[in-house]
Structure 1
């Protein structure tokens, strides 16, 4: 693409005044006023042809693979070309998850064989941000013409939740639960994983006696078990319309992702296997089961792929798909939201089949806005109407929670700032009670 520069515009404007004066003073020689325009067009043609010969460009963008929400990072633009253009400039296109700190473009700094430009961006929202296009332009030798090319690029940055505070909170919870080095503490008589044999003591259950080894050794020996460390934990996050509504200025799905990452960090430290599952109208993200602390970075990166959605959640398709992928008993933690029994009817039917084989835990955030409206002092008729409607919605919500518990599912309804710690405490309780 070729277009005139500001210098060419000013030159054309400067030649217009003499041309007007010549035409005014010498009407019969009015064509002399066109000499400046013809001369300028000739220079423009030469400038465009000379600049076009340098159009062989190879540009690239170097951006970090991941960054935390609210963090700033640097993007480097590198351009190589056959001949160094004068006043080369570049600008990069980005999506709404990123905001430029000092602008999205600038002048390339000359380097060996090309130029480079460093830009600063800030990550505003969680998700996978992308840089999709790169504009590079340069002037011709006379500076009258801009030569511009638009290069398609594909560079993605995973904007992850800030889990620095969650890590500290997770370590505190681990220390509180006395899980040495992140592994489950061994407790005699609990769990299903065989640990050792010991002499039978009065008070032990008869089922703990190993009769074959007792007969071989000539004395009663009891089996000692420990809590299993290879349980399967599934973090299912609903990213549908209701979960994208804000709570205290932050979307519910973002708070759910932060709580899920906190529990994933704890579970991986404890030796369990963790998988991530995101869904709205259909399944969107499925990470597969991983184990080990080193796998937390992968879980964190896949969590960035859980995007905001305006579609209604299809619980039947999502939970049926999830159940078909699980080949062993698992702890299925579902982060979701609902309004009343009618909207949650299909979810209740699917949960009933899921609880027959798996341990299901629903994580819900208290609707502080509805609770505030329900407790609003009745100063006017509108306040009374709001309180009645809010109270009715809260009662319907409790009806759904009661039906979930009747189906065998566990339900935690916590404040948004206590969602992660409440989940970790219940997870550790499940481990202690050998429910996994």
Structure 2
């Protein structure tokens, strides 16, 4: 579409005002006809120049655009996107002024629009965008406004540039949490893990030297202290199989702050997959609601592949089919698999169903049930006095809070204490019901990753030694 520019509108306004001012002064004189004729000629020339200027501007058939990403989108992370404009005909090669918008949609935050560029195609412009939520989003068009050097006319058009942009789940940093959890586990169990020469074995124990032991296995410091040769004994660390199950039922659509419980579960699942892969373990993934949505059998795989696969997952509007899930798992898993299941159970009957499900699996596998709590419930817990908390628990069929004698609304930190006791008591009772073989974690988004990681490491290392 060709439209007059601001410059041409100002020129037209000046000409019109000049004609309006000169007409009364020359009315009834021989100059009146010349003034009117001059104004008409000036307007005609200006309109002709605007049309001529606009006709030589490039249109949607004169330019092509390509979009490229400088990396991979992740939730709440900023990434650079580059738009490359290529000329198709002679009009596309002119030196012009461009104003550019990209069709990013509502799920990306961009502060740099519009993009300005003056020059001759081909050229590239870039901007930074932040993905606000996980998913796969269609970028369909690029909006271009072009103006010549004279600047009498503008041309606005859209260039087709379809791309499916994937925003991956937010991956929490695990290095610090991983090290801290390992230290806690080892301090409790008393194990001191040391890598043997070659890095393929783990320290098992100290023992007296025996003929035939390799000299490099001798611990000379321990030998000097004891006065006899001491040998380090190592055992090969067993590789594990981790299988992640993410509930896709309607309860996972509940919000936890700005994210859904499904988003939180996927982030924690991918974090565990990264930790397991770093240790050489096999990792599998299943997204299941009333039916399977995504299935990756256990294998050595990169976390990036799993992250790309879960981008488009959305919760169902139906409940979880636990019997179908049990049958599916029974057909694809071998024995002694660490099975981590992410779900949300808003009522006590659902808890009992999951406990029975975990008991069925605990004979052949090592299940870890992760129950996600939404932030809305916990905000009420943190801001309400004790009686209101109990009414909330009954209304949601949640396990009641234990007695907290020092809980009061006007005491600093009391609400946080109530929340902590609420989750720990719920977890304790669930563990008691489920038995010793099934691990259970209840957590909100703030404590989810560290809680799940710690519990997973306990299961893994308990099976290793």
Structure 1 regions of 5+ residues with no counterpart? 189-223
Match of 1:237 among 246, 257, 262: 246
Q: How many residues align?
A: 391
Asked if 1:394 is matched to 2:418, the reply is no
Matches within 5 A, 1:191-206: none
Structure 2 CA distance for partners of 1:371 and 1:75, relative to 1, 3 Å: closer
Match of 2:277 among 248, 268, 275: 268
TM-score (normalised: structure 2): 0.67
Structure 2 regions of 5+ residues with no counterpart? 187-191, 206-233, 401-422
Asked if 1:418 is matched to 2:447, the reply is yes
SS for the counterpart of 1:108 is strand
SS for the counterpart of 2:344 is coil
Aligned to 2:113: 104
Contact 1:105 1:119 in 2 (8 A): no
Structure 2 CA distance for partners of 1:144 and 1:264, relative to 1, 3 Å: same
SS for the counterpart of 1:328 is coil
Contact 2:5 2:152 in 1 (8 A): yes
Distance 1:91 1:338 in 2: 44
Aligned to 1:326: 332
Aligned to 2:9: 9
Structure 2 CA distance for partners of 1:15 and 1:376, relative to 1, 3 Å: closer
Aligned to 1:154: 163
SS for the counterpart of 1:237 is strand
Matches within 5 A, 1:70-149: 70-81=76-87, 82=89, 83-101=93-111, 103-108=112-117, 110=119, 113-128=121-136, 131-140=139-148, 142-149=150-157
Contact 2:169 2:266 in 1 (8 A): no
Distance 1:122 1:375 in 2: 31
What is the Cα deviation at residue 155 of structure 1? 5.3
Deviation by residue 1:58-110 (Cα, 9 ceiling, x = unmatched): 21122134144443332222112141341122211213332113x23312264
Contact 1:238 1:278 in 2 (8 A): yes
Match of 1:60 among 33, 58, 66: 66
Distance 1:300 1:179 in 2: 31
Distance 2:439 2:41 in 1: 87
Deviation by residue 1:243-300 (Cα, 9 ceiling, x = unmatched): 34444665433433333233222322332211233355654444443326xx133334
Aligned to 1:364: 371
Aligned to 2:343: 336
Structure 2 CA distance for partners of 1:317 and 1:39, relative to 1, 3 Å: farther
Distance 2:250 2:6 in 1: 49
Deviation by residue 1:331-356 (Cα, 9 ceiling, x = unmatched): 32111112114566876787676667
Aligned to 2:221: none
SS for the counterpart of 1:394 is coil
Contact 1:235 1:332 in 2 (8 A): yes
Match of 1:405 among 414, 434, 440: 434
What is the Cα deviation at residue 122 of structure 1? 3.0
Contact 1:5 1:143 in 2 (8 A): yes
Deviation by residue 1:32-76 (Cα, 9 ceiling, x = unmatched): 454344323322221222114795212112213414444333222
Distance 1:431 1:159 in 2: 27
Contact 1:70 1:124 in 2 (8 A): yes
Contact 2:169 2:263 in 1 (8 A): no
SS for the counterpart of 1:96 is coil
SS for the counterpart of 1:152 is strand
Contact 2:272 2:453 in 1 (8 A): yes
What is the Cα deviation at residue 407 of structure 1? 12
RMSD of equivalent CA atoms? 4.4
Deviation by residue 1:351-374 (Cα, 9 ceiling, x = unmatched): 676667544321013567646756
Distance 1:317 1:56 in 2: 59
Contact 1:60 1:79 in 2 (8 A): yes
